[in-house]
Amino acid sequence: MPDSHNAGDFGAALSGAPHIYALTPEELAEHKTDGYLDVNTVREGAVVICPVKVPGGSVYLGDMHALQGDGEIAGHTCDVAGTVTLEVHVIKGPVIDGPILFPVSDDVPFLARPLSEGGLERARSLARKHGVQEIEADAPVTFIGTGSNLNEATANGLERAAGLLGVSVPEVMNWATLASAIEIGRHPGVVRVTFRAPLDRLDTKGIGSFARGLYDL
């Protein structure tokens, strides 16, 4: 698969293409890793968890942007050359279909940010009034979704989140409404589904430590 088409939106152009890289929609869905992100929250300090779908998968970077508004709506931005320093960990166990992102704190949508100590105490006080003794520990996490359009991309991101966390899509939809944001990564079909997920479920998948370290939880 050409790296320039390794996503659900640009990859859709491979369906019925008159060359050796042609893919059916089913093949695209199976093999894409959505490495061609173009999301502006993948920047210094962020943690990106990438799927590995081939034996001995490697890491490389490209299409570096000096800046980009949400959506890259003009189809281009300020592309630059640069040097990137990566810290790479191999996580064995969880099976993921697309990228998971822990953005730096400044990039976490307002509703998805961890509660302050004062806010958490007010929440606990209100919970106790209604007979709830404990508030579930949670942390921000972003699931990348892609598709031929933004509706498909949103559904893809929600399904990926539900699959990893072991809950239903409607439950993720509620999380994504009450403590979240759905943001355009790239027009026409890359989105960021960000919400506060139960920390114990992230721990079970071996990725909770990244949230704890990044957000001082």
- pLDDT of the residue at 147: 97
In this prediction, residues 32-38 reach a mean pLDDT of 94
Residue that the structure tokens 């949103």 belong to: 154
Residue 9 near residue 147, CB atoms below 8 Å: yes
Strand order in the sheet with 138-146: 47-49, 100-102, 138-146, 190-198, 180-186
pLDDT digits 0-9 by tens, 121-160: 999 999 999 999 999 999 999 999 999 999 999 999 999 9
Residue 52 predicted with pLDDT over 90: yes
- pLDDT of the residue at 162: 98
- pLDDT of the residue at 23: 96
In this prediction, residues 99-110 reach a mean pLDDT of 97
Percent of the chain with pLDDT over 90: 90
Residue 139 near residue 217, CB atoms below 8 Å: yes
Instruction: Output the average pLDDT for the chain.
Output: 95
